């Protein structure tokens, strides 16, 4: 607050293709958390997110629990934040856009590739029946599992492993969400997607990436480009060229 007692709000504005210009604000430390969440939801709605179930999920999940202590004051800024192992917790706008793209109705079994902090899995848990999430980094996997368990997200199941291989013993999945950039749509994950199911993933390299939505129709994937994004790269077997 300044000398007059007015709350100071620091904002930056920018735009993503296909979405309105929006502001990312780091609210002052005196703001209540509920107010910060409400402000974030208003930003996302103004930016073009119209799925009310997704907006309610964003409002319900305490993002401050998934960011490092030094970044908690930025938990409700509409921006990506660094976490352990050189990874990031995704920007809320992108989390919302990816979740909305899956057109979830509530009864789905969803596979997430790249647990990271656990935030995206927590948001999905509010939208579906069950979330299965895989993380290749042992440190991140263990930390996310602890946070999700502590917060009571009982319908989220995590394990450590190479996400390219998916979770075949539990397939098929109604939807798959990938939180790291792959050079192509991972073949083994497409194979684990149910007929009529949707998969959303950032595809590209460290220079340019596009968020792509795929829907499985008659055993084949019909793809649609959604918007430009920038994610950390997906690691593991997906980097092995297809022969």
Return the active site residues.
90
Say how many C-beta atoms besides its own lie within 10 A of residue 189's C-beta: 24
- Which residues does 42 contact at the CB level (< 8 Å), separation at least 6? none
C-alpha to C-alpha distances, 97 to 91, 161, 173, 187, 233, nearest whole angstrom: 10, 26, 20, 23, 19
Give the integer Cα–Cα distance in Å for 152 and 149.
5
Give the integer Cα–Cα distance in Å for 243 and 241.
6
Report residue 86: phi and psi, to 5°: 70, 20
């Amino acid at each position: 607050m300044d000398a007059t007692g007015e709350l100071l709000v620091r904002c930056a504005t920018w735009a993503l293709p296909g979405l309105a210009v929006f502001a990312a604000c780091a609210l002052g430390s005196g703001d209540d958390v509920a107010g910060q969440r409400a402000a974030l939801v208003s930003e996302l709605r103004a930016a073009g997110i119209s799925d009310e179930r997704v907006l309610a999920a964003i409002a319900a999940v305490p993002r401050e629990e998934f960011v490092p202590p030094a970044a908690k004051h930025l938990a409700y800024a509409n921006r990506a934040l660094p976490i352990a192992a050189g990874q990031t917790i995704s920007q809320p706008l992108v989390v919302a856009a990816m979740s909305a793209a899956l057109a979830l109705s509530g009864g789905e079994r969803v596979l997430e590739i790249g647990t990271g902090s656990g935030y995206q899995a927590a948001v999905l848990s509010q939208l579906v029946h069950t979330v299965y999430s895989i993380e290749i980094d042992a440190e991140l996997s263990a930390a996310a599992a602890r946070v999700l368990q502590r917060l009571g997200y009982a319908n989220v199941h995590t394990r450590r492993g190479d996400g390219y291989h998916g979770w075949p013993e539990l397939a098929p999945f109604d939807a798959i969400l990938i939180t790291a950039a792959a050079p192509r749509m991972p073949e083994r994950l497409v194979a684990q997607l149910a007929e009529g199911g949707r998969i959303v993933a950032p595809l590209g390299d460290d220079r340019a990436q596009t968020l792509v939505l795929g829907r499985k129709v008659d055993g084949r994937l019909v793809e649609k480009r959604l918007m430009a994004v920038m994610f950390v790269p997906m690691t593991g077997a997906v980097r092995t060229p297809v022969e």
